[in-house]
Amino acid sequence: MEFLSDKAFRWFLIRFLLIFFAVYFGTQAMIGLTAPGGSYSPFLAKYFDYVTWLRTSLLQGSKILLSAFDINTYTTADFRIRYVDGRGVYLAFDCLGYGVMSFWLALVTAMQDKIWHKLKWLFLGLFSLWFINICRISIFLVVTNKNTEMPLGIDHHTWFNIFAYIAIFLLLFFYYRSMEKADKGNKPEQPAQTGTTETTHT
Protein backbone atom coordinates (compact mmCIF):
# COMPACT_ATOMS: atom_id res chain seq x y z
CA MET A 1 0.00 0.00 0.00
CA GLU A 2 2.70 2.40 -1.08
CA PHE A 3 0.13 4.90 -2.39
CA LEU A 4 -0.81 5.71 1.23
CA SER A 5 2.71 7.07 1.73
CA ASP A 6 2.02 9.69 -0.93
CA LYS A 7 1.21 12.91 0.92
CA ALA A 8 -0.85 14.34 -1.94
CA PHE A 9 -2.98 11.19 -2.11
CA ARG A 10 -3.53 11.19 1.66
CA TRP A 11 -4.78 14.77 1.54
CA PHE A 12 -7.04 13.91 -1.41
CA LEU A 13 -8.45 10.93 0.53
CA ILE A 14 -9.07 13.07 3.62
CA ARG A 15 -10.82 15.76 1.56
CA PHE A 16 -12.90 13.16 -0.27
CA LEU A 17 -14.06 11.42 2.90
CA LEU A 18 -14.87 14.67 4.71
CA ILE A 19 -16.89 16.01 1.78
CA PHE A 20 -18.65 12.71 1.14
CA PHE A 21 -19.73 12.22 4.76
CA ALA A 22 -20.78 15.87 5.04
CA VAL A 23 -22.95 15.70 1.90
CA TYR A 24 -24.31 12.18 2.44
CA PHE A 25 -25.19 12.50 6.11
CA GLY A 26 -26.13 16.15 5.62
CA THR A 27 -28.73 15.00 3.09
CA GLN A 28 -30.06 12.43 5.55
CA ALA A 29 -30.27 15.17 8.17
CA MET A 30 -32.09 17.42 5.70
CA ILE A 31 -34.61 14.64 5.05
CA GLY A 32 -35.26 14.37 8.77
CA LEU A 33 -35.58 18.14 9.21
CA THR A 34 -37.86 18.78 6.23
CA ALA A 35 -40.18 15.77 6.47
CA PRO A 36 -43.33 16.47 8.54
CA GLY A 37 -43.13 15.16 12.08
CA GLY A 38 -40.17 14.60 14.37
CA SER A 39 -37.58 17.40 14.10
CA TYR A 40 -39.42 19.23 11.33
CA SER A 41 -38.09 22.73 10.56
CA PRO A 42 -40.54 24.96 8.64
CA PHE A 43 -37.71 27.37 7.75
CA LEU A 44 -35.52 24.68 6.17
CA ALA A 45 -38.53 23.09 4.49
CA LYS A 46 -39.47 26.39 2.88
CA TYR A 47 -36.08 27.69 1.76
CA PHE A 48 -33.51 24.85 1.68
CA ASP A 49 -35.42 21.65 0.95
CA TYR A 50 -33.27 20.50 -1.98
CA VAL A 51 -34.38 16.90 -1.34
CA THR A 52 -37.94 17.76 -2.37
CA TRP A 53 -36.60 19.68 -5.37
CA LEU A 54 -34.68 16.57 -6.41
CA ARG A 55 -37.73 14.30 -5.94
CA THR A 56 -39.91 16.65 -7.95
CA SER A 57 -37.36 16.94 -10.78
CA LEU A 58 -37.04 13.14 -10.99
CA LEU A 59 -40.80 12.71 -11.22
CA GLN A 60 -41.21 15.48 -13.79
CA GLY A 61 -38.23 14.20 -15.77
CA SER A 62 -39.75 10.71 -15.82
CA LYS A 63 -43.07 12.14 -16.96
CA ILE A 64 -41.38 13.99 -19.84
CA LEU A 65 -39.35 10.93 -20.85
CA LEU A 66 -42.42 8.69 -20.89
CA SER A 67 -44.42 11.25 -22.87
CA ALA A 68 -41.77 10.98 -25.60
CA PHE A 69 -42.96 7.35 -26.00
CA ASP A 70 -46.64 8.37 -25.99
CA ILE A 71 -47.16 7.16 -22.43
CA ASN A 72 -49.43 9.52 -20.52
CA THR A 73 -48.69 9.90 -16.83
CA TYR A 74 -49.34 12.32 -14.02
CA THR A 75 -47.68 13.06 -10.69
CA THR A 76 -49.32 13.44 -7.29
CA ALA A 77 -48.56 15.54 -4.24
CA ASP A 78 -47.38 12.47 -2.30
CA PHE A 79 -44.49 11.93 -4.76
CA ARG A 80 -46.04 9.28 -6.98
CA ILE A 81 -46.07 8.99 -10.74
CA ARG A 82 -48.99 7.12 -12.25
CA TYR A 83 -50.28 5.98 -15.59
CA VAL A 84 -53.50 7.71 -16.59
CA ASP A 85 -56.08 5.02 -15.68
CA GLY A 86 -53.27 2.81 -14.49
CA ARG A 87 -50.98 1.97 -11.60
CA GLY A 88 -48.30 4.18 -10.08
CA VAL A 89 -45.02 4.00 -8.18
CA TYR A 90 -43.91 5.92 -5.11
CA LEU A 91 -40.58 7.72 -5.19
CA ALA A 92 -39.11 6.92 -1.78
CA PHE A 93 -36.09 8.69 -0.29
CA ASP A 94 -33.85 5.68 -0.94
CA CYS A 95 -34.65 5.95 -4.67
CA LEU A 96 -33.25 9.46 -5.05
CA GLY A 97 -29.70 8.33 -5.77
CA TYR A 98 -28.17 10.81 -3.34
CA GLY A 99 -25.58 8.22 -2.30
CA VAL A 100 -23.91 8.01 -5.73
CA MET A 101 -24.45 11.74 -6.26
CA SER A 102 -22.65 12.44 -2.98
CA PHE A 103 -19.84 10.13 -4.09
CA TRP A 104 -19.37 11.97 -7.40
CA LEU A 105 -19.63 15.41 -5.80
CA ALA A 106 -17.02 14.52 -3.17
CA LEU A 107 -14.71 12.91 -5.75
CA VAL A 108 -14.65 15.91 -8.09
CA THR A 109 -14.55 18.52 -5.33
CA ALA A 110 -11.56 16.81 -3.70
CA MET A 111 -9.53 16.95 -6.93
CA GLN A 112 -6.70 19.42 -7.40
CA ASP A 113 -8.08 21.21 -10.42
CA LYS A 114 -9.32 24.58 -11.63
CA ILE A 115 -12.72 25.62 -10.29
CA TRP A 116 -14.38 26.07 -13.70
CA HIS A 117 -13.16 22.64 -14.83
CA LYS A 118 -14.43 21.02 -11.64
CA LEU A 119 -17.83 22.67 -12.01
CA LYS A 120 -18.14 21.49 -15.60
CA TRP A 121 -17.51 17.85 -14.70
CA LEU A 122 -19.44 18.09 -11.45
CA PHE A 123 -22.64 19.13 -13.21
CA LEU A 124 -22.05 16.71 -16.09
CA GLY A 125 -21.77 13.82 -13.63
CA LEU A 126 -24.75 14.88 -11.52
CA PHE A 127 -26.90 15.29 -14.63
CA SER A 128 -25.83 11.86 -15.92
CA LEU A 129 -26.77 10.20 -12.63
CA TRP A 130 -30.05 12.11 -12.56
CA PHE A 131 -30.88 10.97 -16.11
CA ILE A 132 -30.04 7.34 -15.28
CA ASN A 133 -32.43 7.59 -12.35
CA ILE A 134 -35.33 8.93 -14.41
CA CYS A 135 -34.75 6.06 -16.86
CA ARG A 136 -34.92 3.62 -13.93
CA ILE A 137 -38.13 5.20 -12.59
CA SER A 138 -39.72 5.23 -16.05
CA ILE A 139 -38.88 1.60 -16.79
CA PHE A 140 -40.07 0.51 -13.35
CA LEU A 141 -43.39 2.28 -13.89
CA VAL A 142 -43.83 0.60 -17.28
CA VAL A 143 -43.12 -2.93 -15.98
CA THR A 144 -45.39 -2.28 -12.99
CA ASN A 145 -48.28 -1.49 -15.31
CA LYS A 146 -47.51 -4.42 -17.59
CA ASN A 147 -47.30 -6.79 -14.58
CA THR A 148 -43.86 -7.97 -15.65
CA GLU A 149 -40.42 -7.97 -14.04
CA MET A 150 -37.42 -5.76 -14.56
CA PRO A 151 -34.98 -7.07 -17.21
CA LEU A 152 -33.31 -10.36 -16.18
CA GLY A 153 -35.36 -10.31 -13.00
CA ILE A 154 -32.85 -7.93 -11.39
CA ASP A 155 -34.20 -5.44 -8.84
CA HIS A 156 -34.51 -1.85 -10.12
CA HIS A 157 -32.23 -0.59 -7.32
CA THR A 158 -29.49 -2.96 -8.50
CA TRP A 159 -29.95 -1.87 -12.13
CA PHE A 160 -29.59 1.75 -11.07
CA ASN A 161 -26.41 1.05 -9.10
CA ILE A 162 -24.88 -0.90 -12.00
CA PHE A 163 -25.43 1.86 -14.54
CA ALA A 164 -24.61 4.64 -12.05
CA TYR A 165 -21.18 3.23 -11.22
CA ILE A 166 -20.44 2.44 -14.87
CA ALA A 167 -21.23 6.09 -15.59
CA ILE A 168 -18.99 7.25 -12.73
CA PHE A 169 -16.12 5.08 -14.00
CA LEU A 170 -16.45 6.47 -17.54
CA LEU A 171 -16.85 10.05 -16.32
CA LEU A 172 -13.77 9.72 -14.14
CA PHE A 173 -11.77 8.28 -17.03
CA PHE A 174 -12.66 11.18 -19.34
CA TYR A 175 -12.24 13.70 -16.52
CA TYR A 176 -8.64 12.57 -16.01
CA ARG A 177 -8.06 12.69 -19.76
CA SER A 178 -9.35 16.27 -19.89
CA MET A 179 -7.12 17.27 -16.94
CA GLU A 180 -4.08 15.78 -18.68
CA LYS A 181 -4.86 17.71 -21.88
CA ALA A 182 -5.33 20.91 -19.90
CA ASP A 183 -1.99 20.40 -18.11
CA LYS A 184 -0.18 19.82 -21.41
CA GLY A 185 -1.77 22.95 -22.88
CA ASN A 186 -0.65 25.06 -19.92
CA LYS A 187 2.97 23.94 -20.00
CA PRO A 188 5.28 26.56 -21.56
CA GLU A 189 6.97 25.50 -24.76
CA GLN A 190 10.63 24.62 -24.43
CA PRO A 191 12.84 26.91 -26.51
CA ALA A 192 14.36 25.14 -29.45
CA GLN A 193 18.04 24.37 -29.00
CA THR A 194 20.28 25.75 -31.72
CA GLY A 195 23.44 23.97 -32.57
CA THR A 196 26.77 25.78 -33.01
CA THR A 197 29.12 25.06 -35.82
CA GLU A 198 32.77 25.21 -35.10
CA THR A 199 35.01 26.48 -37.86
CA THR A 200 38.60 25.32 -37.92
CA HIS A 201 41.09 27.59 -39.56
CA THR A 202 44.28 26.14 -40.90
- Predicted TM-score (pTM) of the model is 0.86
Task: Give per-residue pLDDT as tens, 7-16.
Answer: 888 899 999 9
| CB 46 within 8 Å of CB 141 | no
Confidence of residue 62 (pLDDT cuts 50, 70, 90): very high
Higher pLDDT, 189 or 85: 85
Residue type, 68: A
| CB 54 within 8 Å of CB 96 | yes
pLDDT at 192: 52
> How far apart are the C-alpha atoms of 22 and 32, rounded to whole Å?
15
> How far apart are the C-alpha atoms of 81 and 183, rounded to whole Å?
46
Task: Give per-residue pLDDT as tens, 127-150.
Answer: 999 999 999 999 999 999 999 999
Phi, then psi, of 80 in degrees rounded to 5: -120, 150
CA atoms within 13 A on the CB side of 125: 30
